[in-house]
């Protein structure tokens, strides 16, 4: 496809912004370059890891200076397993340095002027997740504060790494500190590396020779530390759950000579997100990277004056939609934006009420509330024009489009991450009132799909959007909804590669064509026009690198269409451009004499209505109607014909008709088939499976009185485990308590080479909570596969002691698992079902507390099979985490982990 002509109205190279306060972004001030260096570990639109270093100027603009292998980071680095992640300027080496600490090692990389190279280290130790690091710029050394968990220290210890690459143990151990997580920062005024003990809030300073006890910190685990712009003292910033959902709450405290002076709650109340902060010595300033401030547009930088954060740098407009005709208008969570003097300027706010969808064209700007109320934007603000209609289920992220005459179509909607399935209904707004459409066939089960009206076919067209629980869009299917209320789904056919998903759709009245803009990963966006029946013709490419901000980059639309000038206006990553479409669209305008293909003429999914002599002796039909999947199966044999019908997943009704002759049976059978096809039923390619919901049984358990060895049990002492095979926690060296034993069972646990799985998890009784029992590979839990011969051994009288006499953990009370069978639909084979519940159970499918995280076998690398899940309360007596037990399909090993 040819490149479409582009005119740049304004441009600024802006670095990426984080989507949450926990994103791995690290920032420092480079004194030699008088600019910030920003290290970003994020993902591209395909979900692949992306590693970059940006040079960010004080005006908030930036450029990538290093990427990928140039950073020298470990190939196997997983941001989820990071224990420590730092980026700083080494005053001794005069080089930027990164540090990553994982479960395996502490790794450092130093910049040699071209690339980062690994720093060779001697006398390293395996750091625990409770250790912390800080660079001492006065002495040019890296300081590691070592908690008790690392190498069984007796308290809080300190180690240092100088330019010679050798770690040295320094000072004395503080015996009554370091039992839990620590936080460190640099105090420029005192010239001390400061460490806060999370458990006690005791605070210490280290000067390279001795400890200094400081006033106890007001915060147990601060988010960040920086230097006060005027006093040059240490300022800690604390993070906690926010005032509103999705935001965080921040407070500050400055360390003075005698005490900590806390800032007023109102000082940092507007701050909703903080990721990184860096001090600029030459300016006596501290800058926050990409702060999110309540009531203000996000900027690439924020200036911290010791009390408050004010926007600085460049504004970041995370646009989520744009108008399809009329005046160019964009919108986002920050408000409404128009093009003024070649730049985007905020010109209004969104309605105060929660909204499910927005749409703007030449007929006006409408906002649809979550329950269906409609507001229109007027010169005097938003005005209600329609109350919520009866029967309109509350929804979020609905798909919305217009036919250009003021009619608005809303398709489905729902909660992307909630437990319930997505809505599939359709509502039409005529400018005054709503009408629910009675539709037939299978419509789209998507959020934020692109909706347009093909006037040449009088048909609504829907494409793209994301499935439940996903952020990415796709364009595999195109849906049409005609005046007869029937949904017809087509496999999308693109003349050129469409990339990854649908970005924007609008109608060009001058050429009478519906057009679609799609996006790729690193490729230019592409322009297509619709030819009906799922067919899209390529027109050209938009080589402007317009990438929306944040996690929703595959969903949000950075475009608006000026239909009078026939110009597409786009915004992304700081650039505002215009793309002229008129000539390109006219070049592919259909000839007036060309026949128009309608959806009824096309072959949709399944088969078309057969001719009289084409009705086979058996049919399997299905239809989606009013939110339900129905099936109707029939067959004729001899002088009889039989029909079976019902709702998918339910017990079928069945009736056999006896006729006088074979011909009469055939005639009545064919008549019934044709009537069903006329009602909207379609041939089911999967035949009998159309009546079945794919899935399997789960066995939800409760705890009862323990009766005998051989029962599935919680707690107690299991059979088959000897003194030598009893698992010991790698971190605290104490034998772990038995949590659960599940025996092989044909349905619940179909083991073929083993007879049971016994689970042991360290309860942190002896470590004060520092053993990472939640992790599958840290050695602080164990899932033993037991053979029948092993299981025949009687239980021990009591748990054994450790190798050095360490006392075993307290034995949990033995209880029996009693089961209730519950069917679960397969979430992979059923596109739109309720989420799997997070409950205690054996078998079925995992109900993820956070995200899907199926482990692979360490030996054969095959995905492991789900065995069971249980609440943390069963193991620790409290907590809100969920534990997951998996087993290799070839029974090489079993594994266990928690999600918090």
3-state DSSP of 1-16: CEECCEEEEECCCCCC
Please name the residues in contact with 410: beta carbons below 8 A apart, sequence gap of 6 or more. Answer: 356, 357, 368, 398, 399, 400, 426, 427, 428, 429
Is residue 742 a contact partner of residue 813, using CB atoms and an 8 Å limit?
Answer: no
- Give the per-residue pLDDT at 441: 78
- Round to whole Å and give the CA distance between 156 and 204: 10
User: CA 373 from chain center: how many Å?
Assistant: 30
- Give the per-residue pLDDT at 220: 83
First-to-last alpha carbon distance for the chain, in angstroms, is 48
Q: Annotate 505-542 with b (16+ C-beta within 10 A) or e (fewer).
A: bbbbeebebbbbbbbbeeebbbbbbbbbbbbbbbbbbb
Residues in the chain: 900
The structure tokens 């899932």 sit at 783
Q: For each successive 10 residues of the chain (900 residues), what is the average pLDDT?
A: 90 85 91 95 69 94 94 82 88 95 84 95 80 94 80 77 93 80 92 91 95 94 92 93 67 94 91 91 88 86 93 88 94 91 91 90 94 95 95 90 92 72 89 91 86 94 82 83 89 92 94 92 87 96 64 60 96 88 95 50 41 77 79 95 92 94 95 90 87 92 91 95 94 93 96 97 80 86 96 95 90 95 85 79 91 89 95 75 95 93
- Give the per-residue pLDDT at 471: 58
Please name the residues in contact with 877: beta carbons below 8 A apart, sequence gap of 6 or more. Answer: none
> How are beta strands 493-494 and 535-542 bridged, if at all?
parallel
Return the SS3 of 670. Answer: helix
How many other β-carbons are positioned within 10 Å of the β-carbon of residue 43?
12
- Give the per-residue pLDDT at 579: 94
- Round to whole Å and give the CA distance between 132 and 185: 9
> How are beta strands 695-705 and 841-843 bridged, if at all?
antiparallel
- Give the per-residue pLDDT at 209: 95
> Is pTM, for the whole model, over 0.85?
no
The structure tokens 């106890």 sit at 216
Is residue 770 a contact partner of residue 764, using CB atoms and an 8 Å limit?
Answer: yes
Question: Which conformational region is residue 533 in: left (phi greater than 0), alpha (psi within -120 to 50 degrees), or beta?
Answer: left
- Work out the burial of residue 880: count CB atoms within 10 Å of its CB; fewer than 13 is exposed, 13-18 middle, 19 or more buried: exposed
Facing residues of 741 across strands? 713, 758
- Give the per-residue pLDDT at 566: 97
Closest CA to 345 of 354, 336, 356, 353: 336
Closest CA to 307 of 258, 271, 273: 271
CA dist list (Å): 222 to 72, 130, 197, 371: 29, 14, 11, 41
- Give the per-residue pLDDT at 442: 77
């Amino acid at each position: 496809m040819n490149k479409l002509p582009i005119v740049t109205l304004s441009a600024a190279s802006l670095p990426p912004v984080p989507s949450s306060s926990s994103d791995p972004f690290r920032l420092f001030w480079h004194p030699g370059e008088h600019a910030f260096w920003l290290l970003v570990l994020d993902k591209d639109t395909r979900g692949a890891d992306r590693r970059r270093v940006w040079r960010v100027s004080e005006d908030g603009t930036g450029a990538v200076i290093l990427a990928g292998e140039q950073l020298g980071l470990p190939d196997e680095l997983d941001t989820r397993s990071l224990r420590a992640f730092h980026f700083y300027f080494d005053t001794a080496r005069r080089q930027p340095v990164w540090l990553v600490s994982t479960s395996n090692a502490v790794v450092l990389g130093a910049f040699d002027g071209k690339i980062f190279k690994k720093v060779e280290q001697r006398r390293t130790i395996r750091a625990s997740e409770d250790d912390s690091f800080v660079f001492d710029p006065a002495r040019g050394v890296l300081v590691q504060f070592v908690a008790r968990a690392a190498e069984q220290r007796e308290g809080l210890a300190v180690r240092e790494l100088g330019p010679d690459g050798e770690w040295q143990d320094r000072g004395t151990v503080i015996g009554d500190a370091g039992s839990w997580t620590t936080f460190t920062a640099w105090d420029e005024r005192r010239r001390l590396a400061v460490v806060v003990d999370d458990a006690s809030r005791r605070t210490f300073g280290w000067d390279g020779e001795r400890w200094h006890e400081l006033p106890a910190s007001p915060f147990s685990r601060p988010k960040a530390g920086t230097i006060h712009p005027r006093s040059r003292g240490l300022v800690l910033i604390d993070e906690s759950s926010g005032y509103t959902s999705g935001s965080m709450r921040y407070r500050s405290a400055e360390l003075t000579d005698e005490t900590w002076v806390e800032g007023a709650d109102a000082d940092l109340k507007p701050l909703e997100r903080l990721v990184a902060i860096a001090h600029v010595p030459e300016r006596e300033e501290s800058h926050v990277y990409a702060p999110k401030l309540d009531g203000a547009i996000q900027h690439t930088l924020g200036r911290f004056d010791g009390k408050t954060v004010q926007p600085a740098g460049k504004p970041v407009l995370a646009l989520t939609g744009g108008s399809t005709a009329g005046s160019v208008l964009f919108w986002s969570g920050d408000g409404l934006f128009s093009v003024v003097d070649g730049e985007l300027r905020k010109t209004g706010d969104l309605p105060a009420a929660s909204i499910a969808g927005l749409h703007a064209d030449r007929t006006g700007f409408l906002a649809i509330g979550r329950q269906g109320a409609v507001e229109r934007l007027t010169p005097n603000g938003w005005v209600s024009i329609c109350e919520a209609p009866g029967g309109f289920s509350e929804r979020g992220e609905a798909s919305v489009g217009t036919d250009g005459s003021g009619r608005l179509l809303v398709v489905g909607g729902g909660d992307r991450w909630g437990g319930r399935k997505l809505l599939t209904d359709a509502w039409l707004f005529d400018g005054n009132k709503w009408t629910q459409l009675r539709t037939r066939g299978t419509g789209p089960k998507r959020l934020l799909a692109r909706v347009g009206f093909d006037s040449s076919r009088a048909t609504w067209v829907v494409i793209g959007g994301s499935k439940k629980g996903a952020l990415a869009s796709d364009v595999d299917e195109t849906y049409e909804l005609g005046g007869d209320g029937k949904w017809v789904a087509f496999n999308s056919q693109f003349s050129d590669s469409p990339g990854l998903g649908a970005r924007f759709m609008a109608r060009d009245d001058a050429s009478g064509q519906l057009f679609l803009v799609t996006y790729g990963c690193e490729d230019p966006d592409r322009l297509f026009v619709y030819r009906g029946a799922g067919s899209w013709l390529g027109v050209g490419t938009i080589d402007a690198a317009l990438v929306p901000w944040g996690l929703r980059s595959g969903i949000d639309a950075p475009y608006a269409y000026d239909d009078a000038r026939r110009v597409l206006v786009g915004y992304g990553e700081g650039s505002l451009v215009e793309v002229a479409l008129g000539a390109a669209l006219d070049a592919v305008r259909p000839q007036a004499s060309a026949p128009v293909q309608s959806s009824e003429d096309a072959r949709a999914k399944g088969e078309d209505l057969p001719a009289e002599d084409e009705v086979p002796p058996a049919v399997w039909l299905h239809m989606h109607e009013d939110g339900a999947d129905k099936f109707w199966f029939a067959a004729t044999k001899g002088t009889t014909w039989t029909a079976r019908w019902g709702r998918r997943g339910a017990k079928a009704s069945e009736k056999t008709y006896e006729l006088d002759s074979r011909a009469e049976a055939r005639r009545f059978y064919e008549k019934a088939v044709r009537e069903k096809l006329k009602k909207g039923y379609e041939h089911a390619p999967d035949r009998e499976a159309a009546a079945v919901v794919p899935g399997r049984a789960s066995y939800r358990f409760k705890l009862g009185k323990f009766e005998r060895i051989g029962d599935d049990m919680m707690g107690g002492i299991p059979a088959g485990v000897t003194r030598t095979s009893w698992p010991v926690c790698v971190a605290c060296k104490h034998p772990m308590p038995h949590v659960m034993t599940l025996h092989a069972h044909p349905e619940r646990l179909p083991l073929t080479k083993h007879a049971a799985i016994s689970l042991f998890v360290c309860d942190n009784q002896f470590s004060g909570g520092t053993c990472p029992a939640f992790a599958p590979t840290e050695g602080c839990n164990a899932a033993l596969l037991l053979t029948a011969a092993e299981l025949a051994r009687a239980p021990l009288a009591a748990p054994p002691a450790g190798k050095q006499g360490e006392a075993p953990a307290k034995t949990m009370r033995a209880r029996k698992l009693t089961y209730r069978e519950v069917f679960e639909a397969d979430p992979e084979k059923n596109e739109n079902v309720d989420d799997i519940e997070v409950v205690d159970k054996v078998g079925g499918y995992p109900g993820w507390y956070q995200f899907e995280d199926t482990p692979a076998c360490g030996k054969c690398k095959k995905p492991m099979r789900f065995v069971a899940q249980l609440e943390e309360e069963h193991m620790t007596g409290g907590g809100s985490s969920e534990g997951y037990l998996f087993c290799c399909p070839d029974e090489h090993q079993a594994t266990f982990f928690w999600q918090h």
